Structure 1
């Protein structure tokens, strides 16, 4: 009887991306560990099994039970997992929001300069006046 928790790829912990790559993750104590993206299902499955072996999972919780027999073999099959937390997932969204705000600000300033050229000229004159006060002629 196959294990109950198999994904759409047919393997435990392996998910198929639309680009025909295979994303692997494993959960441990309620934390999701990202194992990366692989070109073939077999490499992805081996990475999952190596991580499961490192986490002392039972053979019944792995896809194949004979890939890694020692810690060294598990290390060769898959690099240590990357911790994925809620903060890690939210950071790209924060960065994208900052970029969108900066772009909107640049656009608003460009429109302002185009609509109110006198304000731009007044600002430049004011800046020059401040510079002269700060750096008097010698």
Structure 2
């Protein structure tokens, strides 16, 4: 039930994002909603795993996300300082967009680490003992 609700929210926020691109209002709020929905949908998958495995996945995701965020903010800061004289972006809109992108990226990283974990588990179960000669 919860997964269907999250899929419904994703469809709603994608439609609202397309409308916000056309209209220009509430674009940052739509990005936040879509980011949180993607994160919630992907986090739902790892809640079904063992606690030890889900904690390992989240540690790896958080470490990768922290590196991406730090380097991304450094690049954005350099671009803003050297190439834009007076940025016309509201601070609250920038915070909303940043939150939406971070949580959406966190959800996508959960998906990629989860897929790697599933592949690693299938490799372990595929190894069989061979009789020694």
What is the TM-score when the length of structure 1 is the normalising length? 0.29
Q: Which protein is bigger by CA-based radius of gyration?
A: 1
Higher fraction of helix: 2
Q: What is the TM-score when the length of structure 2 is the normalising length?
A: 0.30
Higher relative contact order (CA 8 A, sep 6+): 2
Answer 1 or 2: which has greater strand percent: 1
